[in-house]
C-alpha cells in the first residue's frame, strides 16, 4: 500500500518498523495488513521470532513476499479482514496503511476483533510542516514523507495524532503505548502532552487493546 | 486410426513406468467397492535425494496423464506441463524428484474402464466401480509408499489436479510438506456438474457407445465424445480470450455460406479440438473422471466446515487463481484461503491477472511461474533441500 520513505537506523531497518517491532512480544502470532514487500514481517521473524502472516493488495508485493518465504495472501484491508476468526492473532499490524483504507474505523474494529492487540502506525497530518503548507501557502502538503499530489494520492483518509486518539476512544480501544517519531526518525519525549506530539511528531505508532 | 490403436495399447501396457498391486494390496474405494489386481502408470523426472526428502507429486487435470514433462506416446506432443516442470523450471527437476501418475479411472495405463479386468480377462467398461478424487489420491499414496517415500516435499496441480492436492493435504497432512493447488476448488459447483452432465449425455447418446461396451463390440462413440470435448473446451477459455483469438473471423472463406459448415474459425477450432481428443481419450474414462470431480466436496464429511478439514495442519499452502477463470473462479480459491486462515494454517494466495481463462494454468504465465518458483524455493530452504 502507500509506504512512504522514512529514515533508516544504523542497521538499515526503517525506524518506524523498528518502533513497531519493539512493541511485539517474541514468538507472537502476527498479521501484517498491507505488508508491502514484506520488510516488516521479515524484520519481525528475524528479531522477534514471530509466526507471521500478511495481506497485500499488489500482485508485485505478494510475489516478493512469497519468494521471501512469507505467508501472504492477496487481499484488501477493507473487505478481507471479516474472513478471519476472532482472536486469530496476538497482534494485527497496520503499518503506514490506515490513511489508504476506504473505511479506517471498520478496519480498526476488525483488527481489534481478530487480534488481541492492534498496532497502527501512520504519518501525522497534524505535523507543523503540514499545517504550514495549508496555513501559509494554502496548498495541500507535498513533502518527502507525503510525496503525492492531492489528485493522485492513494492516501484518502489522513488523520492527525489527536484524530486517531479520538477514533480509539470512539471504538472503545485502550491505548497501551504510543510512540512518536520526529522528522529525523528520533523518538520524542515520552511524557510530552498530545498537543506537542501532534505538532512535532511526523510519525506515530500506537499499541491498542480492546 | 493409428493414434487410437496406440491409445488403446497404453491402457494395459503403458509405455511409461507402471506399479502393479496384487490381491495383497487391494484398493478400497469410497463407494465401498474394492479393486483387486490394479496398476498405476507413472513417470518420474529428476533424482530422489539420499534423505528421500525432495519428491514432488504432480497431479494432472481431467484429460491429462503421467507425461507432464516428457513426449506423449500417443500424440507425440511435448508433456502437458513442460512450461512448469523441467531443469531450471519453477518445479525444477535439477532440485526435485518429480512423480506424475495417471489417475485412477484414466486411460493411460492406470486401472480404468479401458483396462482389462484381470478377474474376467475382459475390458472393465462400466463394471469398474465409480471412483472419487479421494480414491485417486489413495492410489497415488500406494504408489508413493511403494517408492519408499514417507513425506512428499510438495503436491502440485491445477483444476482436477488441484482437487487432488487439497485431498492429499486433508487426508495425509503429515505426508505433505507444502501444497500448491492452482485454479481449483474445494468442491465442484452446481454449474460445473451441469457442464459435465452435458458432456456425459453427449457420449451416452452416441449409438456407438453401446451401453459402454464399445471396446468389445468394436465401435467408437467418437461423435459423442467430440461434442463433450467441444462443450468443455469453451469452459476452459474466457469470453475475452476466445474473442481475441477468433473474433468473428471466417474459416477459409470470404463470406458466410448460409449453411451449417464451419463458417467461423471458432467452429473449426472446436471441431478440431473434438476430433483430436477422441483419438487419445477413452469415452468411458471421460464418464468416470468427470464423475469423480462432480462428487468432490472436501468439507462434506465435516458438516460443510472446510476449516475443520485443515485443523492443525502444518502444511504450507500456496494457492493460485486467475482473474478470467469462470470455471474455477477466484472466489472458490478464496473460500479455501479463508478456511486455511481460520485453521491457522500457513497460506499464501495470489490471483494472477490473465485473460486466458481456466487454461491459464497450463500456459506461459510469468507471474504464476515467479510466485511458484519463490514459494518452492523458500519451502525447500525450510526443508533443507539443496
d(Cα B137, Cα B45) in Å, to the nearest integer?
20
pLDDT at A10: 56
- Look at A66 and B378 and tell me if their CB atoms are within 8 Å: yes
Answer yes or no: do B139 and B159 share one domain. Answer: yes
Q: Could you read off the pLDDT tens digit of each residue along chain A, which spans 210 residues? A: 444 455 666 556 688 899 999 999 999 999 999 999 999 999 999 999 999 999 999 988 998 899 888 999 999 999 999 989 999 999 999 999 999 999 999 999 999 999 999 999 999 999 998 999 899 999 988 877 778 999 999 999 999 999 999 999 999 999 999 999 988 888 887 778 889 999 999 999 999 999
Residue A3 inside a domain? The answer is no
Q: Which of B292, B318, B333 is the last residue of a domain?
A: B292
C-alpha cell at B227: 461434442
Give the residue numbers of B annotated as catalytic, written as ranges. 159, 325, 358
Residue A200 inside a domain? The answer is yes
Q: Which of B292, B313, B340 is the last residue of a domain?
A: B292
Residue A169 inside a domain? The answer is yes
Query: What pairing do the DSSP bridges indicate for beta strands B116-117 and B122-123?
Result: antiparallel
Interface of B with A in 341-370 (CB under 8 A): 341-342, 344, 346-353, 367, 370
Answer yes or no: do B223 and B323 share one domain. Answer: no
Q: Which of B292, B325, B350 is the last residue of a domain?
A: B292
Give A-chain residues touching B349 at CB under 8 angstroms. 62, 72-75
Nearest-by-Cβ selection for A67 from B316, B341, B378: B378
Answer yes or no: do B90 and B162 share one domain. Answer: yes
Answer yes or no: do B57 and B136 share one domain. Answer: yes
CATH number at residue B377: 3.40.50.1820
CATH number at residue B254: 1.10.1740.110
| Residue pLDDT, tens place only, B332-369 | 999 999 999 989 899 999 999 999 999 999 999 999 99
- Look at B351 and A59 and tell me if their CB atoms are within 8 Å: yes
Residue A117 inside a domain? The answer is yes
- DSSP label at B15? S
Total number of domains constituting chain B? 2
Q: Which domain holds residue A88?
A: 15-209
pLDDT at A179: 92
d(Cα A122, Cα A48) in Å, to the nearest integer?
22
CB A54 within 8 A of CB A72: yes
pLDDT at A9: 62
The question of ipTM being above 0.85 is answered as: no
Q: Which domain holds residue B87?
A: 2-188+297-383
d(Cα A149, Cα A168) in Å, to the nearest integer?
28
For residue B144, CA distances in Å to B39, B150, B164, B289 come to 13, 8, 14, 21
Torsional sign, CA A134, A139, A143, A148: positive
Residue A87 inside a domain? The answer is yes
For residue A27, CA distances in Å to A55, A169, B316, B378 come to 20, 29, 19, 20
b/e map of A135-153 (b: 16 or more CB within 10 Å)? eeeeeebeeebbeeeeeeb
User: Minimal Cα distance from B370: which residue of A?
Assistant: A63
Answer yes or no: do B184 and B213 share one domain. Answer: no
Answer yes or no: do B37 and B64 share one domain. Answer: yes
Answer yes or no: do B280 and B337 share one domain. Answer: no
User: Minimal Cα distance from B319: which residue of A?
Assistant: A73
Total number of domains constituting chain A? 1
For residue B243, CA distances in Å to B257, B276, B358 come to 21, 22, 15
CATH number at residue A171: 3.40.50.150
Answer yes or no: do B333 and B208 share one domain. Answer: no
Answer yes or no: do B108 and B230 share one domain. Answer: no
Q: How many helices (H) and strands (E) does chain B have?
A: 12, 14
CB A167 within 8 A of CB A158: no
Amino acid at each position: 500500500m502507500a509506504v512512504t520513505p522514512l529514515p533508516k537506523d544504523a542497521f538499515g531497518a526503517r525506524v518506524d518498523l523498528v518502533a513497531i517491532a519493539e512493541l511485539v512480544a517474541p514468538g507472537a502470532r502476527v498479521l501484517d495488513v498491507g505488508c508491502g514487500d514484506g520488510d516488516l514481517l521479515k524484520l519481525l521473524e528475524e528479531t522477534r521470532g514471530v509466526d507471521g502472516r500478511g495481506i497485500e493488495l499488489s500482485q508485485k508485493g505478494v510475489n516478493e513476499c512469497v519468494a521471501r518465504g512469507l505467508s501472504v495472501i492477496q487481499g484488501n484491508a477493507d473487505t478481507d479482514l471479516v474472513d478471519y476468526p476472532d482472536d486469530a492473532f496476538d497482534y494485527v499490524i497496520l503499518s503506514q496503511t490506515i490513511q489508504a483504507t476506504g473505511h479506517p474505523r471498520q478496519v480498526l474494529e476488525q483488527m481489534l476483533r481478530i487480534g488481541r492487540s492492534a498496532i497502527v502506525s501512520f504519518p501525522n497530518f497534524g505535523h507543523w510542516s503540514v499545517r504550514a503548507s495549508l496555513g501559509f501557502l494554502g496548498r495541500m502538503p507535498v513533502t518527502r514523507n507525503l510525496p503525492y499530489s492531492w489528485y493522485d494520492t492513494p492516501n484518502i483518509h489522513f488523520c492527525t495524532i489527536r484524530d486517531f486518539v479520538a477514533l480509539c476512544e470512539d471504538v472503545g480501544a485502550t491505548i497501551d503505548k504510543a510512540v512518536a517519531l520526529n522528522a529525523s526518525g528520533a523518538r520524542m519525549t515520552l511524557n510530552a502532552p498530545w498537543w506537542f506530539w501532534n505538532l512535532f511528531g511526523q510519525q506515530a505508532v500506537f499499541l491498542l487493546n480492546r | 486410426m493409428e493414434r487410437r490403436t496406440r491409445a488403446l495399447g497404453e491402457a494395459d501396457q503403458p509405455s511409461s513406468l507402471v506399479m502393479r498391486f496384487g490381491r495383497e494390496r487391494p484398493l478400497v474405494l469410497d463407494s465401498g467397492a474394492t479393486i483387486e489386481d490394479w496398476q498405476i502408470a507413472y513417470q518420474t523426472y529428476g533424482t530422489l535425494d539420499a534423505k528421500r526428502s525432495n519428491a514432488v507429486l504432480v497431479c494432472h487435470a481431467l484429460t491429462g496423464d503421467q507425461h507432464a514433462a516428457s513426449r506423449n506416446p500417443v500424440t507425440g506432443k511435448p508433456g502437458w506441463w513442460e512450461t512448469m516442470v523441467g531443469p531450471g523450471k519453477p518445479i525444477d527437476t535439477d532440485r526435485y524428484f518429480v512423480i506424475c501418475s495417471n489417475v485412477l479411472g484414466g486411460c493411460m495405463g492406470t486401472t480404468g474402464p479401458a483396462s482389462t479386468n484381470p478377474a474376467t480377462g475382459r475390458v472393465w467398461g462400466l463394471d469398474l466401480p465409480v471412483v472419487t478424487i479421494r480414491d485417486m489420491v489413495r492410489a497415488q499414496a500406494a504408489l508413493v509408499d511403494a517408492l519408499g517415500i514417507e513425506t512428499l516435499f510438495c503436491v502440485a496441480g491445477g483444476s482436477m489436479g488441484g482437487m487432488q492436492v487439497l485431498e492429499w493435504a486433508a487426508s495425509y497432512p503429515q505426508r505433505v510438506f507444502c501444497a500448491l493447488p492452482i485454479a481449483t476448488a474445494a468442491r465442484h459447483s452446481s454449474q460445473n456438474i451441469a457442464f459435465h452432465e452435458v458432456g456425459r449425455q453427449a457420449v451416452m447418446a452416441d449409438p456407438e457407445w453401446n451401453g459402454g461396451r464399445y471396446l468389445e463390440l468394436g465401435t467408437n462413440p467418437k461423435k459423442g465424445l467430440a461434442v463433450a470435448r467441444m462443450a468443455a473446451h469453451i469452459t476452459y477459455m474466457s469470453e475475452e480470450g476466445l474473442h481475441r483469438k477468433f473474433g468473428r473471423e471466417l474459416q477459409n472463406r470470404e463470406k458466410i455460406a448460409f449453411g451449417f459448415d464451419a463458417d467461423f474459425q471458432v467452429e473449426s477450432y472446436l471441431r478440431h479440438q473434438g476430433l483430436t481428443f477422441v483419438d487419445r481419450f477413452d469415452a468411458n474414462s471421460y464418464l468416470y473422471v468427470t464423475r469423480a470431480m462432480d462428487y468432490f466436496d472436501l468439507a462434506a464429511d465435516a458438516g460443510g466446515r472446510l476449516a475443520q478439514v485443515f485443523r492443525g495442519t502444518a502444511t504450507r499452502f500456496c494457492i493460485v487463481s486467475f482473474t478470467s477463470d469462470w470455471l474455477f473462479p477466484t472466489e472458490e480459491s478464496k473460500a479455501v484461503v479463508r478456511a486455511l486462515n481460520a485453521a491457522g494454517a500457513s497460506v499464501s494466495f495470489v490471483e494472477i491477472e490473465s485473460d486466458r481463462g481456466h487454461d491459464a494454468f497450463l500456459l506461459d504465465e510469468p507471474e504464476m511461474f515467479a510466485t511458484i518458483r519463490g514459494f518452492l524455493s523458500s519451502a525447500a530452504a525450510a526443508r533443507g533441500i539443496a
